[in-house]
């Protein structure tokens, strides 16, 4: 009987926006617009970096990888969320839910590591400028990206296995708009406290360690910048880090609120709002911040647009 009960749940109901039945269509329109802008903005960033040789340096290589990761990260959640806003049966299969969690967590962890790598790149660029080309060579950059993705998806595999080996034999309504860890743990028939501790430790290792690494990088950067004699030199050094810092603060700020906030301190609607910010706003913020604040990207974009307009006229 126990075995039969444990195999009862074959699908989950994603009830994230069920408390707003009258807002389903408006939310669909707003989220669709944000998603399309996110896709276009990240694709433009990747294309601009690939087509302009002046941007073929480590900083923009990492930015293009981050943009690609953001596209994949939002692709696994947003289309399904948009479809659920339009249909009455807001379900996802057991396998589909596990796959969604695995891919989402994999790219979320990868993004944390990529932001840490970008912080290290800024540290080498400012603190060791004469050795920058040697230290941040193409081979090392490729290895850093590969290690970030591999480690991210290894952690994702561990967490997904822990969650989906739990017995789900009762209610199957997930109080979220995608397959997140906490809402699924609430549905399990029994608790795996060791597994939950492993999940918590992984989140701490990834989020806290990556953030502390970035913080250390910027402490060393600030120490070097303060020794620059001219105000213009200091301003230029800080401006190269500003875009990365904005993305880091938003990314780790949202992650910290979600994973390390006091238990039961947020209502369901507040949790969903925070998750929307994390899954939709953060992927959009990256290309907007870098295109608005970075002069190199702005110049490259103008050149690309100029070439395309000339081609159309011909």
Is 92 domain-assigned?
A: yes
Quote the pLDDT of residue 261: 64
Quote the pLDDT of residue 3: 45
Question: Tell me: the pLDDT tens digits for 192-216?
Answer: 889 889 998 998 899 999 999 999 9
Q: What is the pTM of this model?
A: 0.88
Is 294 domain-assigned?
A: yes
Quote the pLDDT of residue 1: 41
- Count the neighbouring beta carbons within 10 Å of the beta carbon of residue 298: 14
The total number of structural domains that make up the chain: 1
pLDDT tens over the chain, length 314 residues: 444 445 567 889 998 887 778 888 999 999 999 999 999 989 988 998 898 888 889 989 999 999 999 999 899 999 999 999 988 888 999 999 999 999 999 999 999 999 999 999 999 999 998 899 999 999 999 999 999 999 999 999 999 999 999 888 878 889 889 998 988 988 888 888 898 899 989 988 999 999 999 999 999 998 988 888 877 777 777 777 888 888 888 888 877 777 666 656 667 677 787 788 788 888 888 888 876 667 777 777 777 666 555 455 54
Quote the pLDDT of residue 265: 61
Is 140 domain-assigned?
A: yes
Quote the pLDDT of residue 218: 92
Is 218 domain-assigned?
A: yes
Quote the pLDDT of residue 266: 65
Is 312 domain-assigned?
A: no
Quote the pLDDT of residue 4: 46
Is 193 domain-assigned?
A: yes
Is 120 domain-assigned?
A: yes
Quote the pLDDT of residue 305: 64
Question: Tell me: the pLDDT tens digits for 70-102?
Answer: 999 899 999 999 999 988 888 999 999 999 999
Quote the pLDDT of residue 287: 82
Quote the pLDDT of residue 308: 53
- Closest C-alpha among 284, 243, 297, 275 to residue 39: 284
Is 313 domain-assigned?
A: no
Beta bridge partners of 93: 11
- Closest C-alpha among 260, 255, 251 to residue 285: 251
Quote the pLDDT of residue 88: 83
Q: Which two tokens stand for residue 45?
A: 């960033």
We report the CATH number of the domain holding residue 53 as 1.20.1070.10
Q: What residue numbers bound the domain in which 139 lies?
A: 2-307
């Amino acid at each position: 009987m126990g075995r039969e009960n444990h195999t009862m749940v074959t699908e989950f109901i994603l009830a994230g926006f069920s408390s707003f039945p009258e807002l389903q269509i408006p939310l669909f329109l707003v989220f669709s617009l944000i998603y399309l802008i996110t896709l276009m903005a990240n694709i433009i960033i990747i294309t601009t970096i690939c087509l302009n040789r002046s941007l073929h340096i480590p900083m923009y290589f990492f930015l293009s990888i981050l943009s690609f990761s953001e596209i994949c990260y939002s692709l696994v959640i947003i289309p399904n969320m948009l479809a659920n806003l339009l249909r009455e049966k807001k379900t996802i299969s057991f396998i589909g839910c596990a796959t969604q969690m695995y891919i989402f967590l994999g790219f979320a962890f990868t993004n944390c590591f990529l932001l840490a790598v970008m912080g290290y790149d800024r540290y080498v660029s400012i603190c060791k400028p004469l050795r920058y080309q040697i230290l941040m060579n193409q081979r090392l950059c490729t290895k850093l990206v590969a290690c970030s993705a591999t480690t991210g998806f290894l952690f994702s595999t561990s967490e997904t296995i822990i969650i989906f080996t739990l017995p789900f034999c009762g209610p199957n309504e997930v109080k979220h708009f995608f397959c997140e860890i906490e809402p699924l743990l609430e549905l399990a028939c029994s608790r795996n406290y060791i597994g939950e501790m492993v999940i918590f430790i992984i989140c701490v290792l990834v989020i806290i360690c990556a953030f502390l690494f970035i913080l250390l990088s910027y402490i060393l950067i600030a120490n070097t910048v303060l020794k620059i004699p001219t105000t213009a030199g200091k301003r230029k050094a800080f401006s190269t880090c500003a875009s990365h810092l904005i993305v880091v603060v938003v990314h780790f700020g949202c992650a910290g609120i979600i994973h390390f906030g006091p238990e039961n301190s947020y209502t369901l609607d507040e949790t969903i709002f925070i998750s929307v910010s994390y899954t939709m706003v953060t992927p959009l913020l990256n290309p907007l911040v870098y295109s608005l604040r970075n002069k190199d990207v702005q110049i490259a974009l103008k050149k690309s647009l100029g070439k395309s307009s000339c081609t159309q006229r011909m």
